[in-house]
Amino acid sequence: MPATATEERAEALRMIRDSAAVVVPPDGGLGRVRGLRFTLPGIDPAVWRSMGAMGWIGLRLPEEAGGAGLGMAEACALLEELGRALVPEPLVAGALSARLLAAGGDTALLPALLAGESLVLTAWQQSADSLEAPGDREGARLFIPMAAAAQAFLLPVREGGALALYAVEGVRPETRRTQDGGHVGSLLPDLAAARRVAPNVGEAMALALDEAALGTAAYLLGLMERCFAMTLDYLRQRQQFGKPLGSFQALQHRAADLKIQLVLTRASVEGAAAELDAGATGDARRALVSRAKARAAEAAMRVTREAVQLHGAIGYTDEYDIGLFLRKAMVIANAFGSAALHRARYMRCASHPGAA
């Protein structure tokens, strides 16, 4: 019998998950991640090129723009797998830049970015915990992820009632370390040295930020699921008083609570991705994304913190991998909006989800 549309979509999602094996070790080892911590540029350029070769950077772009033309469900499935392996390469941020360059019709930076031959990052954020680009001409641009690895930066700038896009190359941002061993950068826009890419990318910017927030939620989902699985393995193997730790009812109850968090987060992320692929726009899209991101951010912090506690004293040592998941969650839970920001945005948008 011919495959149904549902079966075909499930197979496509399975294939995109399997493709993550290009950058994820078969045994799930975190040696590469550990080797890149607290170094600059903090990523492996060869891995970034592999991501480009696999079409991941332009996964959401239409084929006529050089992308793969796939949906948010595929993007989230891929990012889950990267979250399981704590992959440090900034795929979410790179895809955001690709979205803006494609919207602006750029032919100078986009091809190399999509191929993974360069990294272009968008310097849009000017204050902590935000999901809008103010676009001040002179305001410092902050919290640029893995900024030392970028060859170029995009600068959204308010011009009249539009959000213009500029590109600047060859600048060195200031960087500071983050808890997970990565870094963020900041820079002051110098429009005299920048090239104007497009006169108005306002709609593309709003969509790109929503997709980035949902993609980050998917990364957090993969991260916490791997962290939870490692914790269950530990509870089954570790003995106390002649019994596995997992046999104690109090610990079983804690594990069950964490499993509920995972199930609810998956439902929110997958539901939002499906609705975006079905054409959700405006406040409906924003509400869906915010619900998923708020839940993922809170659940990731709870799951990773309790995982460290359930591992006992060994969980607090840097040599033991479980702590890497908590550190990563601490850094990216607030990326593209904290849980508090998204709860507030959900309340505003869910009251009239049909608005454009």
- Is the pLDDT confidence value at 248 over 60? no
Tell me the residue length of the chain. 356
Going by pLDDT thresholds of 50, 70 and 90, the confidence category of residue 253 is: confident
DSSP-based three-state secondary structure for 335: coil
Instruction: Report the pLDDT value the prediction gives residue 6, as an integer from 0 to 100.
Output: 81
Instruction: Report the pLDDT value the prediction gives residue 12, as an integer from 0 to 100.
Output: 82
Q: What is the 3-state secondary structure (H, E, C) of 238-253?
A: CEECCEEHHHCHHHHH
Average pLDDT over every residue of 183-204 = 97
DSSP-based three-state secondary structure for 233: helix
CA atoms within 13 A on the CB side of 155: 26
Per residue in 113-140, pLDDT tens? 999 999 999 999 999 999 999 999 999 9
Instruction: Report the pLDDT value the prediction gives residue 225, as an integer from 0 to 100.
Output: 98
- Is the pLDDT confidence value at 203 over 90? yes
Q: For 148, which DSSP code?
A: G
Per residue in 146-176, pLDDT tens? 999 999 999 999 999 999 999 999 999 999 9
Going by pLDDT thresholds of 50, 70 and 90, the confidence category of residue 247 is: low
Determine the Cα–Cα distance for residues 120 and 111; give it in Å rounded to an integer: 11
Work out the burial of residue 170: count CB atoms within 10 Å of its CB; fewer than 13 is exposed, 13-18 middle, 19 or more buried.
exposed
Furthest-apart CA pair in the chain: how many Å? Answer: 72
Instruction: Report the pLDDT value the prediction gives residue 185, as an integer from 0 to 100.
Output: 98
Instruction: Report the pLDDT value the prediction gives residue 240, as an integer from 0 to 100.
Output: 62
Work out the burial of residue 24: count CB atoms within 10 Å of its CB; fewer than 13 is exposed, 13-18 middle, 19 or more buried.
middle
Per residue in 37-94, pLDDT tens? 999 999 999 999 999 999 999 999 999 999 999 999 999 999 999 999 999 999 999 9
- Is the pLDDT confidence value at 353 over 70? no
Determine the Cα–Cα distance for residues 262 and 268; give it in Å rounded to an integer: 10
Instruction: Report the pLDDT value the prediction gives residue 11, as an integer from 0 to 100.
Output: 87
Neighbours of 35 (CB within 10 A): 10
Contact between residue 258 and residue 266 where contact means Cβ atoms under 8 Å apart: no
- Is the pLDDT confidence value at 96 over 70? yes
Mean pLDDT of the chain: 93
Contact between residue 84 and residue 28 where contact means Cβ atoms under 8 Å apart: yes
Going by pLDDT thresholds of 50, 70 and 90, the confidence category of residue 352 is: low
Average pLDDT over every residue of 2-27 = 86
- Is the pLDDT confidence value at 7 over 70? yes
Per residue in 41-50, pLDDT tens? 999 999 999 9
Residue type, 320: Y
- Is the pLDDT confidence value at 187 over 60? yes
Residue type, 166: Y
Determine the Cα–Cα distance for residues 210 and 179; give it in Å rounded to an integer: 25
Determine the Cα–Cα distance for residues 251 and 231; give it in Å rounded to an integer: 11
Q: Which long-range contacts (CB under 8 A, 24 or more apart) does 40-45 make?
A: 40/148, 40/149, 40/175, 40/183, 41/146, 41/148, 41/149, 42/88, 42/146, 42/148, 42/149, 42/181, 42/182, 42/183, 43/88, 43/89, 43/90, 43/119, 43/146, 43/149, 44/89, 45/149
Instruction: Report the pLDDT value the prediction gives residue 3, as an integer from 0 to 100.
Output: 72
- Is the pLDDT confidence value at 354 over 80? no
Q: For 164, which DSSP code?
A: E
Instruction: Report the pLDDT value the prediction gives residue 239, as an integer from 0 to 100.
Output: 56
Q: Can you identify the CATH homologous superfamily of domain 204-350?
A: Butyryl-CoA Dehydrogenase, subunit A, domain 3 (1.20.140.10)
